[in-house]
Amino acid sequence: MNRIWPIPAPGFTAISGKRRPPSAWGVELFCQLRGGIVGREPWPIATCNWIHEGTDGDIVAVKKVEN
């Protein structure tokens, strides 16, 4: 079961929704959706829509994947 977290979740950085995160952050990031849900696995940056559309599916915060 997914837990709903405040935005941004602990350890996450809020994003603007105007462009994708910098490439220096890596090719995958943990993502938090507008509804507060945090993905359990990192998501490939290239496959995500980073522009906010005003829906619960918007990615509003991210966290780097620690190696």
For the chain, the domains span: 13-64
Looking at the DSSP bridge assignments, the partners of residue 33 are 59
Residue 67 — pLDDT band, cuts 50, 70, 90? low
Question: How does pLDDT run across 1-55, given as a tens digit for each residue?
Answer: 578 899 999 999 999 999 999 889 999 999 999 999 998 899 999 999 999 999 9
**Does pLDDT of 66 surpass 90?**
no
Q: If DSSP states are collapsed to H, E and C, what string results for the chain? A: CCCECCCCCCCCEECCCCCCCCHHHCCEEEEEECCCEECCCCEEHHHCCCCCCCCCCCEEEEEECCC
pLDDT at position 43 is 95
Q: What is the predicted pLDDT for the residue at 31?
A: 95
Q: Whole-structure pTM over 0.85, yes or no?
A: yes
